[in-house]
Amino acid sequence: MHIWFTENQTEDVSLGLRVQSVLWHENTAYQELAVLDTAAYGRMLTLDGAVQTTIADEFVYHEMITHVPLSLHLNPKKVAVIGGGDGGSIREILKHPSVEEAHLIEIDDKVVAAAKRFFPEISVSLDHDKAFVHYTDGIAWVKEASNYDVIIVDSTDPVGPAEGLFKPEFYQSIFNALGEHGIMVAQSESPFLHPHLVQRVFHGVRSAFPTTRLYLASVPTYPSGLWSFTMGVKGEMATQVRPELFDMITRYWTPKLQQSCFILPRFIEDLVR
Ligand code: SAM
């Protein structure tokens, strides 16, 4: 018998994955959480029916949402991830020798618990002595935060508790929470299937930051497979990748990709013009 998971990514597009077994399912205080073992991509975390991460392609998203801003910062020491309860972003941040503190601000402790139980290879660094996990709403947290070097918005789609993570006021609070040369990055959805969201995040970040850049990566299990990230930069950026980062162990990010990911196809340039 074949059992299929279907994510309705828009009213007209869905992704289907053959499921070998359902490992976990619960309704948390915030969302419906499931862990499925898929034939094509291995173990997969879904929230409210939307793919969050899979064993086979998580490295793309987690490396690109972290190494791109951390390489551009002059000396990243204090970093925060808003959302990101699977722990993949924290794992990548702690590969940077300059980082002294990596804070995870996750609203739903059940996501972290599921990640520790079913995705040890992704959540591996959550118990590191430089990792600090805070179970709270990122929108309230960021209003009290200060002097961060890099803030990463590793959120779910803009529904439910994540809705406020896509608003201009939130980007302004992040600007205030960053130090002099601080950098933020937010996952900003698919240029093919969510062009209005790409524009909304880009214009929101641009309303708060003097420099705004969009970059791309291929994440096969996210809608359309082409994913965008929007970066806001408060001050100066590094002009070259620091020598110690050339030896960092990665599978997608490379120092060369660091330059090329900002080169946009014309239709996406037009989208964020
Ligand atoms: N990589 C994923 C993606 O793009 O599909 C996102 C992964 S991560 C699991 C997203 C996390 O954001 C979820 O665990 C969710 O609980 C968390 N989240 C949503 N809204 C939040 C908020 N307001 N404050 C903090 N965390 C939030």
- Which residue's CA is minimally distant from atom 27 of ligand 1? 83
Best probe residue, ligand 1, of 35, 86, 90, 155 (max atoms within 8 Å of C-beta): 155
Count the residues in the chain. Answer: 273
Closest CA to ligand 1's atom 21: 162
Cα of 240 vs centre of ligand 1, distance in Å, is 31
Q: For ligand 1, is residue 58 a contact (CB within 6 Å)?
A: no
- Whether ligand 1 lies within 6 angstroms of the CB of 38 is answered as no
Provide the b/e sequence for 144-162 (b: ≥16 CB within 10 Å). Answer: ebeebbbbbbbbbbbeebb
Domain 58-272 top-level CATH class: alpha beta
List, for residues 1-34, the tens digit of each pLDDT value.
789 999 999 999 999 999 999 999 999 999 999 9
The helix-helix angle for 168-177 and 195-208 (nearest 10°) equals: 40
| Most ligand 1 atoms within 8 A of CB, residue of 53, 65, 106, 224 to mutate | 106
Atom of ligand 1 nearest to the CA of 156: 10
pLDDT at 135: 98
pLDDT above 80: residue 177: yes
Phi/psi region, residue 121 (left: phi>0; alpha: psi -120 to 50; beta: rest), is alpha
For ligand 1, whether the C-beta of 84 sits within 6 Å is yes
Q: What is the pLDDT of residue 29?
A: 98
- The answer to whether the CB of 83 is under 6 A from ligand 1 is yes
Residue 190's pLDDT band, with cuts at 50, 70 and 90, is very high
- Bigger pLDDT: 273 or 55? 55
Residue located nearest, by CA, to atom 13 of ligand 1 = 83
Phi-psi region of 145 (alpha: psi -120 to 50; beta: other; left: phi over 0): beta
pLDDT confidence of residue 21: 97
CB 205 within 8 A of CB 165: no
CATH 2.30.140.10 residue ranges of the chain are: 3-54
Mean pLDDT score across all residues of the chain: 97
Nearest CA to ligand 1 atom 5: 52
pLDDT tier at 161 (50, 70, 90 boundaries)? Answer: confident
| C-beta separation of 50 from 156 below 8 A | yes
Indicate whether residue 82 lines ligand 1 (CB < 6 A).
yes
Which one of 105, 156, 188 would you pick to mutate in the ligand 1 pocket, going by the greatest count of ligand atoms within 8 A of its CB? 156
**The pLDDT of residue 54 is above 80:** yes
Supply the pLDDT for residue 159: 87
**Cβ contacts of 156 within 8 Å, gap of 6 or more:** 31, 47, 48, 50, 52, 83, 162
Kindly state if the Cβ of 57 falls inside 6 Å of ligand 1.
no
- Is the C-beta atom of 137 inside 6 A of ligand 1? yes
Residues paired with residue 244 on neighbouring β-strands, in sequence order: none
* Catalytic positions, written as ranges: 154
Write down the pLDDT at residue 106. Answer: 98
The domain 3-54 having CATH identifier 2.60.40.3140: the answer here is no
Specify the domain boundaries for CATH 3.40.50.150 within the chain. Answer: 58-272
- Hey, whose CA ends up nearest to atom 18 of ligand 1? 83
Contacts of 243 (CB under 8 A, 6+ apart): none
